[in-house]
Amino acid sequence: MALRDEFTARLKTAMIAGDAASVSALRMITAKLKDTDIAARPALDKVPDEQIVAMLRGMAKSRRESVEMYRQGKREDLAAKEEAEITLIESFLPQQMDAAATEAAVVAAIAEAGAASLKDMGKVMAVLKAKHAASMDMGKVGPVVKAKLGG
């Protein structure tokens, strides 16, 4: 099932169940998706699932930053709301690689790119992005690549 269809189906289910928090979060996701579609015009009528995944990751990242700020401001109620939205957003994302699989993918990418030093980090990241973009958070894998390259 395409992500767009999944958003619609989950929204209908949440509305029937009377889950106001999920309805609100799902409407926010669909509104962001419409904005993304509009920004992609006229080249694309609707963005592909890969771009939707990137959009969802961005939404989750901004909410994690908000959680930190709310906690610093002693607003646990708002932090809890943001965490609930993060959980819902991440339920649409592909399963992430665990630490061992990530490390193995980094080692394989280093070998494939022929990387020898920290100067080659961009080549390694390009290989990882090409092969594992959906199942790997590039922001979190950067330090692993840097450590493996001796940085």
Going along the chain from its start, the domains and CATH numbers come out as 3-90 (1.10.1510.10), 99-148 (1.10.10)
* Closest among 128, 3, 122 to 55, alpha carbons compared: 3
Assigned token pair, 64: 């994690």
Assigned token pair, 16: 């029937």
Assigned token pair, 100: 């061992």
pTM to 2 decimals? 0.72
pLDDT tens, N- to C-terminus, the chain (151 residues): 688 999 999 999 999 999 999 999 999 999 999 999 999 888 888 888 888 988 998 999 999 999 999 999 999 999 999 999 999 999 998 888 888 888 888 888 888 888 788 888 888 888 888 888 777 777 788 888 888 887 6
Classify each residue of 5-32 as buried b or exposed e, where b means 16 or more C-beta atoms within 10 Å of its C-beta. eebeebbeebeeeeeeebbebbeebeeb
Total residue count of the chain as it appears in this document = 151
- The answer to whether residues 74 and 104 touch, using CB atoms and an 8 Å cutoff, is no
